[in-house]
Amino acid sequence: MPELPEVERARKLIHETCKGYKIKSVDSVEDKIVYTGGDDHGAFAKEISGRTITGCERKGKTFWMTLSGKGRFPVMHFGMTGMIQLKGQEPTWYRRKPRESSKTWPPRFYKFVLKLEPQAGSIGTEPVELAFLDGRRLGRLRLLPDPVTSHPPVSALGFDPVLSHPTFEEFQDLIAKKKGTVKGMIMDQAFSAGVGNWVADEVLYQARIHPSCPVNHLSSQHVKDLHYQLRAVPLRAVEVNADSKQFPEDWLFRWRWGKGKKQEKGKKKAPISGDEEEGGEDVKPVGKDYLALPNGKPATITFIEVGGRTTAVVEELQKMPDGVEIKPKISKGGKGSQSKKRSKGNDSDDGWSGLTSEEEVTTPVKATTARQRGSASKKIKHDDTDIEMDKVKLEEGDVKPLKKARKPPSKAKTPTSARAKAPQKGSSKVSSRRSRSSGKDMQVDIEDGEGSSDLSDLPFE
């Protein structure tokens, strides 16, 4: 996700190339997800057409153009893959994808294109076209009155580390009642607006703080270092216009992209073709082979999960406080729980969770017959381990779904008399039904014909 430095780069581009230009026309594309706040693409275009761009402002990851005349301002959020692009120029790539052309106009996945005309006093003298594009539709476009910072969602944001960093005393007061992990706290947009995953990891690495450290266990020195680095890291990135190849050589960012691979001295670098993703291309410092510890040895970069986010950490330097042990909460499996893996690309920095939860392994119980229900216990096998299930008892009439692998048809034919034979009174009959959605067989027990008329309530997968 584009974070504070990348969004500041986009804001700066608009401010330095479009200020003073009049919006001659707006080509907007219908998108009921991206356009939000009660205005569709048509209302959005109508309200900003004919007005002059007087500047561009930002708070955290949200930025907006200020316009002349009456009316609201267009407020933008990139989400995961949003970006802006001037016609004839490279877009504000965050993660560059191969084979994606910057020459196509209008660009793929654009949500609006502004046709701008120069005016007296405008920065340039040639017409300009500006596009907002978002391939994954996780960005947001809305209209808000002036001042934008007084209206939600912008009004709900915390301090901006570059624009309005608190004093140390104010910072101490802010964290005094915070709970959960330190990484979760600084990624909370209501606490520090604009800090995302890579900025948070860099801040904590430079401050030598373990990302999983509980906030209330930070030492006084750690609090001082955190306060300093929380401004120093994004400010340094902004100074080089978010160009990762100009980040300091001792930054974790320059080395973290070989996820899962150990740093090795003398390891050959991959050739640069120019089409790599930003952060995915070789951003390692020239002439260096690894991130070095203070003693000169290679640092080991490991990846853990904190607050549901992949986190880079150098545990030789980022240590947990003495006596502090993370005891993860146990969440039950099932619908709505954290037992399901996060969908790829749907990570959000707009909120934060506390300690990382651990999945609980649950073992399914097979449907049983009336005779089997009388037993007090039974054994089931799970991952080659026998698990004792004591006092497993199902109520009479329960209908339980059971996944069952399809068996190949038997070569021996069943006698007609056996197929035609009706079930005896008191016996149980097994009825099989095939899921329409998944094509899997579902097997249920039906006692004395109960439930045989309607299986619509079964939770087919």
Question: Which of 3, 6, 8, 202 is the catalytic position?
Answer: 3
Q: Is the pLDDT of residue 365 over 50?
A: no
**Segment among 43-47, 424-428, 440-444 with least mean pLDDT:** 440-444
- Provide the pLDDT confidence category of residue 98 given band limits of 50, 70 and 90: very low
Say if residues 289 and 180 touch (Cβ distance below 8 Å).
no
Structure confidence at residue 304 (pLDDT): 94
More confident call, 213 vs 359: 213
The percentage of residues in the chain with a pLDDT greater than 70, rounded to a whole number, is 62
2 part of the active site = yes
Phi then psi for residue 359, to 5 deg, are -75, 145
Find all residues with CB under 8 Å of 239, minimum gap 6, and list them. none
Of 202, 164, 159, whose CA–CA distance to 183 is shortest?
202
22 beta partners: 52, 117
3 part of the active site = yes
Span 303-327, average pLDDT: 90
Structure confidence at residue 76 (pLDDT): 99
The tokens 């970069």 sit on which residue? 301
Q: Is the pLDDT of residue 376 over 60?
A: no
271 part of the active site = no
- Provide the pLDDT confidence category of residue 416 given band limits of 50, 70 and 90: very low
Q: Is the pLDDT of residue 361 over 70?
A: no
Residue ranges of domains in the chain, CATH in brackets: 4-154 (3.20.190.10), 168-265+280-331 (1.10.8.50), 364-404+426-451 (no CATH)
Phi then psi for residue 5, to 5 deg, are -60, -40
Question: Which of 59, 61, 183, 284 is the catalytic position?
Answer: 61
**Segment among 29-43, 177-191, 405-419, 440-454 with least mean pLDDT:** 440-454
Locate 289 and state its tokens.
């082979």
Q: Do strands 73-77 and 83-86 pair parallel, antiparallel, or not at all (unpaired)?
A: unpaired
